């Protein structure tokens, strides 16, 4: 007999992208920002360290919530700090939301392909997943918002990974209105996109939007994300979070990061320019690329297996993500690095026989 819940024993657990402990790799596999974060972050962390770490942090991260409301008030009508819940990375928020909403006998609905973690979180809760395939043009048909008495949560990564595609906010509102349950819009990559769904939160309490500081603010190492939702929703989710889920340094660093919108603007512009260069160059090499609204490009080559390319690149010191989802051809998800990193990748591709 095992001591563990049967669904824990049965599950494999989520495997994050490779983080090589040894060797010098160009890392284009986990969608990190290639640039260092705003200098204001380091200053804030230094100040918080100096102030002392012996006290518990503010359980509600109020400093951050006040600051982010200033930023969001032009998008979200009526927003105030009680519309925000902070998390130890947006993974923490995904965990909180699934724990609050789904359980055995209920369904969590998400898309294929998308973020594998949604399946893992459902497995931990002992609930089943309804997985809806994207259409070939990366749209979603009505099956994503079809009624189901046992459905408790739908999750839409928007922009999606690995495709980098985005569902238009007007369509997201239609989906949320039709759904019988909350719709979590995971906007981890939205700072790299042309639009976002923040404005919808005020229109429908079922719409929950999560944001991450990992990618656009170059703070994957700091672990900070936030949920935007109506206060009556935040109130329930707050019951599920660990009291002190965000540490004092993360709160200080994240607050400083969002205060430096000039840094975000510059970095975003650099990433988007390199994304375009990468896409153009890949297409000239014969790759089929999906137009991206994120900080990565999803591609495959008609003449060479994605798995072999991944392995060849790894041998040559470049890590990209090889991903294979049911009903979809395998492909490579290449994070947008610096221009120099992308040049190194393209040089390797040119050396391989791709044709």
Interaction residues for a copy of itself, span 107-166 (CB under 8 A): 117, 124, 126, 152
The CA angle 149-236-77, to the nearest 5 degrees, is 95
Q: Does 52 bind a copy of itself (CB under 8 A)?
A: yes
Q: Among 139, 171, 178, 221, indicate the residue that binds a copy of itself (CB under 8 A).
A: 221
Minimum Å gap between C-beta 191 and a copy of itself is: 14
> Residue 133 has what DSSP assignment?
E
Our CB check for a copy of itself shows the closer of 4 and 23 to be 4
Burial 35-69 (b: 16+ CB within 10 A, else e): eebbebbeebbeebeeeeeeeebeebbebbbebbb
Our CB check for a copy of itself shows the closer of 34 and 164 to be 34
Q: Does 341 bind a copy of itself (CB under 8 A)?
A: no
Q: Among 23, 55, 149, 315, indicate the residue that binds a copy of itself (CB under 8 A).
A: 55
Whether the Cβ atoms of residue 129 and residue 118 lie closer than 8 Å to each other: yes
Q: Among 26, 57, 115, 185, indicate the residue that binds a copy of itself (CB under 8 A).
A: 57
Our CB check for a copy of itself shows the closer of 102 and 193 to be 102
Mask: binding to a copy of itself, 169-208, rule CB under 8 A, as x and -? ------------xx-----------------------x--
3-state DSSP assignment of residue 87: strand
How far is it between the farthest Cα atoms of the chain?
Answer: 61
Contacts of a copy of itself in 84-103 (CB under 8 A): 88-89, 91-92, 95, 99-103
Our CB check for a copy of itself shows the closer of 143 and 236 to be 236
Of 3-11, 187-195, 302-310, 315-323, the window that binds a copy of itself (rule: CB under 8 A) is 3-11
Q: Does 30 bind a copy of itself (CB under 8 A)?
A: yes
The CA angle 10-97-268, to the nearest 5 degrees, is 105
- Full DSSP string of 56-96: PPPTT-HHHHHHHHHHHTTTSTT--GGGEEEESSHHHHHHH
Q: Does 80 bind a copy of itself (CB under 8 A)?
A: no
Query: 313: exposed, middle or buried (C-beta count within 10 Å: 0-12, 13-18, 19+)?
Result: buried
End-to-end Cα spacing for the chain: 55
Q: Among 69, 173, 202, 220, indicate the residue that binds a copy of itself (CB under 8 A).
A: 220
Query: 127: exposed, middle or buried (C-beta count within 10 Å: 0-12, 13-18, 19+)?
Result: buried
CA dist., res. 155 & res. 164, Å (int): 16
Minimum Å gap between C-beta 91 and a copy of itself is: 5
Minimum Å gap between C-beta 287 and a copy of itself is: 26
Q: The tokens of 277 are what? A: 């260069």
Minimum Å gap between C-beta 48 and a copy of itself is: 8
Minimum Å gap between C-beta 126 and a copy of itself is: 7
The residue behind tokens 């969002």 is 258
- For 91, residues 6+ apart whose C-beta sits below 8 A from its C-beta are 117, 225
Q: Does 219 bind a copy of itself (CB under 8 A)?
A: yes
> Residue 258 has what DSSP assignment?
H
Whether the Cβ atoms of residue 320 and residue 310 lie closer than 8 Å to each other: yes
Q: Among 4, 23, 315, 353, indicate the residue that binds a copy of itself (CB under 8 A).
A: 4
Contacts of a copy of itself in 228-257 (CB under 8 A): 233, 236, 238-240, 242-250, 253
Q: Among 26, 28, 41, 72, indicate the residue that binds a copy of itself (CB under 8 A).
A: 41
């Amino acid at each position: 007999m095992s001591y563990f819940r049967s669904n824990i024993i049965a599950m494999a657990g989520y495997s994050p992208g490779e983080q090589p402990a040894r060797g010098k790799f160009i890392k284009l596999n986990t969608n990190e920002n290639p640039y260092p974060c705003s200098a204001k972050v380091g200053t804030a962390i230094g100040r918080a360290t100096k102030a002392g770490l012996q006290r518990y942090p503010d359980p509600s991260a109020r400093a951050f919530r006040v600051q982010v409301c200033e930023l969001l008030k032009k998008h979200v009508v009526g927003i105030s700090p009680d519309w925000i819940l902070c998390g130890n990375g947006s993974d923490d928020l995904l965990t909180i939301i699934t724990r609050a909403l789904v359980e055995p006998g209920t369904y969590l609905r998400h898309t294929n392909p998308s973020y594998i973690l949604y399946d893992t979180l459902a497995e931990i809760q002992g609930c089943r997943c309804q997985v809806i395939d994207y259409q070939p043009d990366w749209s979603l048909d009505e099956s994503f918002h079809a009624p189901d008495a046992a459905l408790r949560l739908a999750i839409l990564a928007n922009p999606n990974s690995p495709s980098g595609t985005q569902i238009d906010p007007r369509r997201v509102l239609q989906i949320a209105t039709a759904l019988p349950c909350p719709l979590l819009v995971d906007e981890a990559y939205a700072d790299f996109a042309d639009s976002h769904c923040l404005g919808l939160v005020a229109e429908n309490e079922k719409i929950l939007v999560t944001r991450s500081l990992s990618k656009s603010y170059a703070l994957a190492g700091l672990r900070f994300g936030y949920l935007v939702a109506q206060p009556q929703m935040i109130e329930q989710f707050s019951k599920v979070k660990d009291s002190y889920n965000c540490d004092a340094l993360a709160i200080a660093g994240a607050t400083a990061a969002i205060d430096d919108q000039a840094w975000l603007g510059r970095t975003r512009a650099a990433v988007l320019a390199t994304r375009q260069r990468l896409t153009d160059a890949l297409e000239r090499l014969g790759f089929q690329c999906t137009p991206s609204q994120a900080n990565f490009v999803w591609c495959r080559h008609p003449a060479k297996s994605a798995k072999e390319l991944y392995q060849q690149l790894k041998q040559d010191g470049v890590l990209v993500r090889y991903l294979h989802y049911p009903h979809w051809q395998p492909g490579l998800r290449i994070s947008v690095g610096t221009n120099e990193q992308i040049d190194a990748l393209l040089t390797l591709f040119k050396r391989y026989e791709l044709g």
